[in-house]
Amino acid sequence: MVRLLLERSGIRTTKAPRRIKAETATIQLSGTPVQLALPTLFMNESGRGVAGLLAHFSIPLERTLVIHDDIDLRFGEQRLQFGRGSAGHNGVESVTEFVGSKDYHRLRIGVGRPPGRRDPADFVLDRFSVAERAELGVVVAEAADAVEAWVGSI
């Protein structure tokens, strides 16, 4: 989704500042400069990266959008939320811990629940099904559209 936003903006390269555990790029959305980041940390350590990005670029927490997968939403379903709990998502828990607050925006993108008694941690690391892969381009485009709409609303 971040790569699609970069492509839509005509940006082809990202930078990886040494102190920040992410590839970054600045683009314009709705006339607003937006700092995009592709984390290079494990998901459960993402809070350290988000906190570093916010400090390095002087970004207020309330103008931050964290995008993540969510097993509590059907595949492709998306929800924008502000100030909510983690619902057990280790990456969101890490962000909240490192930034010291849950007062940031989130775009939750559904991946669906694991079948049977399958471990959710294993499920989210698996490849998408053939049917899901066929829909993935639409899901990613809708998420990019949601990000653009969110930027236009803040």
Domains of the chain: 2-153 (3.40.50.1470)
Three-class secondary structure of residue 31 per DSSP: coil
Question: Whole-structure pTM over 0.75, yes or no?
Answer: yes
For 22-35, the pLDDT digits (tens) are: 889 999 998 899 99
Token readout for 21 is 């555990």
For 37-51, the pLDDT digits (tens) are: 988 888 899 999 999
Give the confidence band of 124 by pLDDT, cuts at 50, 70, 90: confident
Q: Which residues, at least 6 apart from 43, have a Cβ–Cβ distance to it below 8 Å?
A: 68, 90, 91, 94
